[in-house]
Amino acid sequence: MSTQARIQQPRFMKNRRTQKRVFRVVFYLGGTLLVAFWLIPVVIAFFTAAKSMDEIMSSPLMWTPPESWTWENFTQAWRDAGMSQYMLNSFIVTIPSVVGTLLISSLGAYALAFYRFRLNKAVLILFVSGMLIPFQMLMIPVFRFSDTLGLINTYGGVSLFHVAFQLGFCVYFLRNFMRTLPYSLIEATRMDGAGEFTIYLRIIMPLALPSLAALAVLEFTWIWNDLLWSIVLLHSDKVKTITQGLANMQGEFITSYNMIAAGSILAALPPLVVFLIFQRFFISGLTVGAEKG
């Protein structure tokens, strides 16, 4: 290596380090700006929820902090607008729906991933095609079917349809993950005398825990925020979910922007708490299998 090359190499490495630092600064600066831009509606809703109606009507600047914080809006939304009952109804609908979806989809994904039978791909295509049908096309058939079976205004009825309509995505997601597991692991366990349910419960489920946690977060958020099937299947105030409660507030308290904003924040808290609890599993579940290409 010549003397000139020895002199140029440190300069080249120094330039690369400088480029990496500039890229890192631009990356974090851009990410910070995107997060700040995404949080603007949340901040405006929080400030609106903490203002009195007199302050809201006197100042058009929605993004300014309140001059006097009014926390009673949250209490009134929780008590007077019935958010407590709506939130309880949402928990009663969402939790069994998420558990049922994960249980049935994991069993279906296990069969499609490890069983060799002629209609394997046809069944998988059937699940995937179910995701492509717009739910709005199914509103009338679902309502008439539920009305015939007496499922209208029942928690079980709306949970049943949530499970049915979420199975396509969950089976596809879990089946693709299970296909990345070595098949020799299943064969070795079978040779040791383990039954299929034992393999599913003791071998596959612990390995699939990150994927199940990621799906649980997604499904909880989607079902919690559902409004379409709640409108179609739940008509009584006693069983309405929290999204229907927010819709009712916009009709009953149409001029009380602060109460509506407070109710919206209360409705968003459970999915946020679930995400914060399972965020470690959520990130690992979304990236699992990526290293295997």
Name the burial class of residue 141, with classes exposed (0-12), middle (13-18) and buried (19+) by CB atoms within 10 angstroms of its CB.
exposed
| pLDDT at residue 105, rounded to an integer | 94
- Give yes or no for residue 87 having a pLDDT over 50: yes
- Give yes or no for residue 293 having a pLDDT over 50: no
pLDDT in tens, 118-168: 888 899 898 888 888 888 888 899 999 999 999 999 999 999 999 999 999
| pLDDT at residue 219, rounded to an integer | 93
Tell me the C-alpha to C-alpha distance, in Å, between residue 16 and each of 1, 11, 19. Answer: 21, 9, 5
- Give yes or no for residue 264 having a pLDDT over 50: yes
Q: How many CA atoms lie within 13 A of 236 on its CB side?
A: 9
- Give yes or no for residue 173 having a pLDDT over 50: yes
pLDDT in tens, 38-82: 899 999 999 999 988 888 888 777 778 888 888 888 998 888 888
pLDDT in tens, 205-261: 988 888 898 899 999 999 999 999 999 999 988 999 999 988 888 776 667 888 889
- Give yes or no for residue 286 having a pLDDT over 70: no
| pLDDT at residue 254, rounded to an integer | 67
**pTM (2 decimals)?**
0.82
**Alpha-carbon gap, residue 87 to 75, rounded angstroms:** 14
- Give yes or no for residue 289 having a pLDDT over 80: no
